[in-house]
Structures are given as C-alpha cells and as structure tokens.
Amino acid sequence: MLKHLFESLGAYAERVLAAGMPVVNASIPISGFVSGDIDLRQGQLCAIFVPTMNGATALLTVMGGFDTTSANFLRCVRENNPVTTAALGDLRWLTGTGSRMALWPSPYPTPPYVRLETDVAQTGARSFQILYKAR
C-alpha cells in the first residue's frame, strides 16, 4: 500500500524515503469513520499519506488527545480562524477519493496522540501512513 502511494506521489515521495523519516501506520476499519490511537509522543507530525477512499468529497480531520482516553480526543482547529461556524474551523483536508498527501502545517505543534477521522464511512479497511520528524 505504501509503495502504491509513493508511486502516485512521484519524485517528492522519493525524497521523503531518501530522508529516512519515520513512518507510523494507522487504519480505519470497514464501515468506520475513525482510526485507532496514533502515538506521536516522540515526534512532530509532518505528513499523512491518504489511501484511496470512498466519496469524491471526502474530508480528513485530525483529532488530538493528551492521553488515550477516548473522551479526551478533540478535533484540531486552525489557528487564528476567522470562521464563526465551528465545523468550518476544523483543521481538515479535502481528500476526495484519496491517493493524496496531507501536509501538517509546520508551525502547529503535534498533540501526543492523534486519531484520523473521515466524514464518509469506508466500505473497506483503509491504511494510512503518518510521517513524522523525531524530536
């Protein structure tokens, strides 16, 4: 799966691989919306490789938490967001049908634990790769 994503991203992906950045895998189960916990206590999130997904207008949102208690995971919000509607302030990417790379905004710190959330239930398990820079 990772090889397929790298092939679709071309030369940039080759530079990422050559840099030797650590990768963490996460998945969203069949009929699911949310991934399991992703432990990023040892690094700063850089990018999320998004696989093929359901829905031409699919959105990917990142939820952050300070521990693995489910109730503590909250959607990350863009800093200095002028939008008054809460859902529009979420830090999210329009991934469409996938095979994309979502870049984490570099000035934003990474929560110790994250989960990935889609707005469309997936008809099959989806595997994501998260690139991070070790602290």
Neighbours of 20 (CB within 10 A): 7
pLDDT at 74 over 80: yes
Which pLDDT value is given to residue 80? 62
Return the ∠ at Cα 45 (arms to 42 and 100), rounded to 5°. Answer: 145
- CATH code linked to domain 2-134: 2.60.120
At residue 88, the pLDDT reads 65
Q: For the segment 84-110, what is each residue's pLDDT rounded down to a tens digit?
A: 555 567 888 888 887 899 999 877 889
- Separation CA 90–CA 78 (nearest Å): 6
**Which residues, listed in sequence order, are joined to residue 26 by a DSSP beta bridge?**
128
